Structure 1
Amino acid sequence: MFYFDESGFSQEPCVPYGWQEKGKQLRIPSVKSKRINVLGFMNRSCELFYYPVIGSVDSKTVIDIFDYFAYQMTAPEYGGDDRYTVVIIDNASIHTSKAFRARIDDWILEKKMIVLFLPTYSPELNLIEILWDKAKYEWIDILSIVNFRGFEKEVKRVFDGVGQEYMISYA
């Protein structure tokens, strides 16, 4: 069973609220940045298949990534054609589009991949959300990066390390 979702990463900080002493100004280093959207499949063992996309993500992008993931899951090292793969996803519009829903039966029949939707407005049930939180606020060293190329390398370093250097415990 894998949990799927996507999240955007940028060098521009997002601080929804903060606290500072009266009369003092709080400053956060900021750099204009392109956005890296990371789409990922992760299981409870922290096995991660991730796909970075620079630019926008639409239903076609998600379908292409699901097709590639389904292909990977039929490889002999992942059980070949014997087992089903279950993917849990939320109800984002790119997951519920006509084009995406039209592929669900194909994935079941051709790739033995079952797609299950979470109840609406329940991100706490999608365990990959914890990964996005950890990556954004603990693991990526945003303050030491000065350009987009360095930012790309840092994002890749962190996601390559999930399951070895970076672990999430679902206790």
Structure 2
Amino acid sequence: MLSSTRFVMKPLVCWKRKVRPVLLTSFTAMSPASAKKAMCPMVGNLKTSRYILRPQKGQRLNCFGLISRQNQLHYATSSGPIPSAFVVNQLEELSWRLAKPTVIVLDNARIHTDDKVRQRLKDWRQRGLSLFNLPPYSPQLNLAERLWKELKARWLRPEDYQTSNTLFYAVWLALAAVGQELFIRFSEFK
């Protein structure tokens, strides 16, 4: 494993506000390509062979995730875009499973402030689920940003990027292991 190698994954939607506990990240599947394609960045040395990682068009995995300081993760993945209806369905499912009052911290992305979301707020509050929107430009307040950083920087290996199937499988395994085998040490809340 190449610990110094960094992978850049583009967000599915680029917002000026990068605060999103419900982060929609596009994991673009990569595959080995020939060294002739000089426009692709060199990634690293995998088993003594140099690989150039090239995006495969149309291969996308979008991740929705909510994480607590105790490493409790609620996540869902989609191969298509994540509209506000998807977010509403995930929050609806979560609201029925709550054992105590819960606050979900979101940014002001369009899918988080859509009419479909606002229409459900009253029902969710009755079940103990409240939504809180962060101010713009405050990613340091967003726990999910740390989750996506750990996933990209530590939990995915260079070999996982060889095909879309290996990448998607590695993402699903990592997300399923959060709170059981994989942990994030958050600073104490004061």
Instruction: Give the TM interval when normalised to the shorter protein.
Output: 0.7 to 0.9
Identity between Structure 1 and Structure 2 (%):
28
Question: Which residues of 2 match residues 30-41 of structure 1 at below 5 A?
Answer: 30-32=54-56, 34-41=59-66
Q: Distance in 2 between matches of 1:106 and 1:60?
A: 16
Counting matched residue pairs gives 149
| TM-score, with structure 2 as normaliser | 0.71
Q: Distance in 1 between matches of 2:180 and 2:114?
A: 35
CA contact (8 A) 2:30 2:163 kept: no
- Cα deviations by residue, 1:105-155 (Å, 9 ceiling, x for unpaired): 12102x211111111221211111100011012211243443322222111
Q: Distance in 1 between matches of 2:163 and 2:61?
A: 13
- The residue that corresponds to 2:71 in the other structure is 46
Tell me the secondary structure at the aligned position of residue 128 of structure 1: helix
Question: Which residues of 2 match residues 96-135 of structure 1 at below 5 A?
Answer: 96-109=113-126, 111-135=127-151
Tell me the secondary structure at the aligned position of residue 120 of structure 2: helix
- Cα deviations by residue, 1:83-118 (Å, 9 ceiling, x for unpaired): 211111111111011221121112102x21111111
CA contact (8 A) 1:91 1:117 kept: yes
Q: What is the Cα-based RMSD across aligned positions, in Å? A: 2.1
Tell me the secondary structure at the aligned position of residue 69 of structure 1: helix
Q: Find out whether 1:84 has 2:109 as its counterpart.
A: no
Q: Distance in 1 between matches of 2:159 and 2:29?
A: 9
Q: Distance in 1 between matches of 2:156 and 2:24?
A: 14
Q: Which has the higher helix share?
A: 1
Q: Find out whether 1:140 has 2:165 as its counterpart.
A: no
Q: Distance in 2 between matches of 1:12 and 1:104?
A: 39
Q: Structure 1: state its 5+ residue gaps.
A: 14-24, 74-78
| TM-score, with structure 1 as normaliser | 0.78
Deviation at 1:12, TM superposition (A): 4.5
